[in-house]
Amino acid sequence: MATTDTQALRRTVLYDEHVKLKGQIIPFAGWEMPVRYSSDLEEHLCVREKVGIFDVSHMGEFLIKGPSALALIQKVTTNDASKLTPGKAQYSCFPNGKGGIVDDCIVYMKGENDYMIVVNAGNIAKDWDWINKQNDLGATLENVSDDYSLFSVSGPLAAATVAKLTDMPVGDLAYYTFATGTFNGIPNILIATTGYTGEKCFEILIPNEHAVKCWVDLMEAGKEFGIQPIGLGARDTLRLEMGYMLYGNDIDDTTSPLEAGLGWITKLAKGSFIDSDKLNQQKADGLKRKLVGFEMIDRGIPRHDYVLSSGGNVIGKVTSGSQSPSLKKGIGMGYVEAAFATEGTEIDVIIRDKPVKAKVVKPPFLKR
């Protein structure tokens, strides 16, 4: 019988390290995770200027193998996975059959008939059920989320930090590629240059039994570069400055990939996939609403769920918003009626019942 009991929060194997480092622990997506260790601003700038390390072990990893692996991935994701070659990764999402998004994800091609998909922590069970339900093609699926820890080392000095623990030529890896080799004396470790901060990023997938030692050794390796552990607070401001989506805020089961500006990972030309008919139709009809970036003209900080308006009429809602630590002003994203989505359009954010002026800009907010 179903119960309404609150599910117990889970901890990554790094939990004790986070506590030792004075991490302030909060519940996030079913996990107890550090929101910050010292200060959001300090951690944010540490990643922009030096190097930071994130424990993202709560994220999920699925292995997809066998002769129908590619066919299944092509069916359940929007991007064209046939373009991948071994050692390459691609950003993608799972359409939900109703025009919305089950989750966003990264697809890694390890070899012929051998793929891995990394998904959001809060969606592991939902994604796993969904992909299995769609697997009438006979691909072999394995959920290894509980076996692996995942660290993200990010910042201009990230390559120098990671290089101290491996002979793999990590500094030469192009964006969205990966290599497998010996890391910190452990064979067969995958290091990918996928990331969520806008800085050089190395995501290192480590079997749980080695995770604590690798974390400690990475902290030690990065000491000379000023490494700091980074919490969820700075992770969110770092990704927002780049205009990267957060599932549950900017995209969800009710938002179309096209409305979200994910046309670049929605490859309608690849052939039929879940929702391809709906998305083709939507493209032909034109989009009614669009996810836009905006920055504040007048002083104020946009927040999730604040109303967006124009001339006193509601035109949409904020999905993500914050003070930008790098730009020192309020930035946000939100869905607006298509007529207001053009760059430079002035809109109002309703903050504490008052309209505060903002203008539509094209992310990334932080230009390089």
CA distance 242 to 211: 29
* Residue 317 within binding range of other proteins, rule CB under 8 A: no
- Span of 32-40, 58-66, 100-108, 179-187 interacting with other proteins by CB under 8 A: 32-40
Q: Give how far the C-alpha of residue 31 lies from the chain's centroid of Cα atoms, to the nearest Å.
A: 16
39 binds other proteins (CB under 8 A): yes
- Give dist(CA 91, CA 106) in Å, integer: 5
Separation of alpha carbons 310 and 312, rounded Å: 5
Query: Quick one: which segment of 94-102, 110-118, 147-155, 318-326 binds other proteins (CB under 8 A)?
Result: 318-326
In this chain, which of 22, 98, 223, 299 binds other proteins, going by CB under 8 A?
A: 299
What's the min distance (Å) between Cβ of 301 and other proteins? 5
The minimum distance between CB 338 and other proteins, in angstroms, equals 30
Distance (Å, rounded) from C-alpha 40 to C-alpha 104? Answer: 25
Question: What would the two tokens of residue 287 be?
Answer: 């989009």
Window contacting other proteins (CB under 8 A); options: 31-39, 58-66, 206-214, 244-252: 31-39
Q: Does 326 interact with other proteins (rule: CB under 8 A)?
A: no
Q: Which of 88, 270, 278, 303 binds other proteins (CB under 8 A)?
A: 303
Q: How far is the CB of 236 from other proteins (least distance, A)?
A: 7
Smallest gap from residue 25 Cβ to other proteins (A) = 13
Tokens of 175: 């964006």
> Is the CB of 223 or the CB of 299 nearer to other proteins?
299
Q: Which of residues 156-185 bind other proteins (CB under 8 A)?
A: none
Say how far apart CA 303 and CA 306 lie, in whole Å: 6
Site for other proteins in 232-271 (CB under 8 A): 233, 236-237
Residue 95 or 330: which CB sits closer to other proteins? 330
Shortest CA distance to 53 belongs to which of 173, 215, 188, 200?
A: 215
Nearer to other proteins, 243 or 261 (CB): 243
Specify the length of the chain in residues: 368
Say which amino acid occupies 225. Answer: F
Check residue 36 for interaction with other proteins (CB under 8 A). Answer: yes
For the chain, the distance separating the N- and C-terminal CA atoms, rounded to the nearest angstrom, is 54
Q: Minimum CB separation from other proteins for residue 26, in Å?
A: 10
Nearest distance from C-beta of residue 324 to other proteins, angstroms: 9
The minimum distance between CB 352 and other proteins, in angstroms, equals 7
Residue 253: other Cβ atoms inside 10 A: 14
> At CA 282, angle to CA 281 and CA 287, rounded to 5?
155
Orientation of helix 232-241 relative to helix 40-49, angle to 10° = 50
DSSP H helical ranges for 102-143? 124-134
Minimum separation from the CB atom of position 220 to other proteins (A): 27
Going by DSSP bridges, is the β-strand pair 52-55/228-229 parallel, antiparallel, or unpaired? parallel
Binding site for other proteins (CB under 8 A): 35-36, 39-42, 44, 233, 236-237, 299-301, 303, 322-323, 325, 352
